[in-house]
Chains A and B, each alone.
Chain A
Amino acid sequence: MEYQVNGKTIPADEEGYITNLDDWSPELAEEIAKTENIEMDEERWEVVNFLRDYYQEYQIAPAVRVLIKAIKKSMGPEKGNNKYMYELFPYGPAKQACKIAGLPKPTGCV
């Protein structure tokens, strides 16, 4: 699989996770979101940016349970809960948001 952004071709694996993490850009994120049928808004960007920071610090994409707990800690319970997160990313907050954030598939996500 691959994405087209500003005339550049970005390679990705068969599930749509980009192959080279350095290829990521906000424009690419919008493009990946489109293929996931997701409209990026402020709330979704907040989660995607949170994931990128988490990866920067710990070098892993967290499992969904861990992601929601971490969001709860940093943004409060009105955002750190399953309902809110699944409304933003219906096919799995960790899976979809990681893909959009240009991270590998979450560890422990089978």
Chain B
Amino acid sequence: MSDVKKFLYVNRKAPYGTIYALESLEVVLIGAAFDQDVSLAFLDDGVFQLTRDQNTDGIGVKNFSPTFRALGDYDVTRLYVEKESLDERGLTADDLQEIMYEDEDDDWAEKPAIRIVSRAEMTDIMAEQDVILSF
């Protein structure tokens, strides 16, 4: 009955040095206009995209990390981060910026969009998708 498909954008690369991370985010923002079920996954070096207090002054490119906080406005409310990828890089959930969204179905309560999941859970999340786009 419904044409809504589940889209997962998989982010595996560090935020700067290549164009992948920024391009992925742009595609997410554009794709969000089409009323699909969109979520994001961060694994491998992709977890660095969400680290807090990024400063790009020294490399002369735009710091786009604040844009992740706008995803809630675009109805993108699930950012899955793989725990093993964090562990392997000496990172914890506290190293990631806080990204909140307002839950329309729960009187606009503010909730965290980042969900730390295990590698096994990530496998299940991927298995549920109709479309996976890898960056």
Contacts and interface: CB of A to CB of B under 8 A. Distances in A.
B135 interface: no
Interface residues of A, number: 13
Given A66-B74, A107-B26, A59 B66 contact: yes
| Interface residues of B, dominant DSSP | helix
A63 interface: yes
B98 interface: no
Contacts, number: 34
Nearest to B63: A59
B33 interface: yes
Nearest to B62: A59
Given A62-B73, A63-B74, A66-B74, A107 B66 contact: no
Interface of B: 26, 29-30, 32-33, 62-64, 66-67, 69-70, 73-74
Interface of A: 57-60, 62-63, 65-66, 69-70, 107-108, 110
18 contacts: A57-B66, A57-B69, A58-B66, A58-B67, A58-B69, A58-B70, A59-B62, A59-B63, A59-B64, A59-B66, A60-B67, A62-B70, A63-B29, A63-B32, A63-B74, A66-B70, A70-B73, A108-B32
